[in-house]
Amino acid sequence: MDFKHVKDYIYWLYYQYLLITCSYVLEPWERSMFHTITVTVVAMVVYTAYVFVPIHVRLAFEFFSQIFGGQPESRV
């Protein structure tokens, strides 16, 4: 794939993002604040999922393995 096509595709995706969020009508300083808040919220959600989802999956696996007759782990 040519670099120009990749660059055009990224510009197209960014334009779609501006259209979906209606942030193309904002002034530049409002747009930068909106992007900052959006990136911050997305980063917090990703971090929280990275930290807490594996713990909850492990606990759910242990819970259901005990319910359906799994062997309990020895606590040494």
Helix (H, G, I), strand (E, B) or coil at 18: helix
What pTM was computed for the model?
A: 0.64
Q: Where are the domains of the chain?
A: 3-69
Condensed to tens digits (0 to 9), the pLDDT of residues 3-41 reads 789 999 999 999 999 999 999 899 999 999 999 999 999
C-alpha dihedral (45, 46, 48, 50), degrees to nearest 10: 160
Query: How many whole angstroms separate alpha carbon 56 and alpha carbon 9?
Result: 37
Please provide residue 73's backbone torsions phi and psi, each rounded to the nearest 5 degrees.
-75, 145
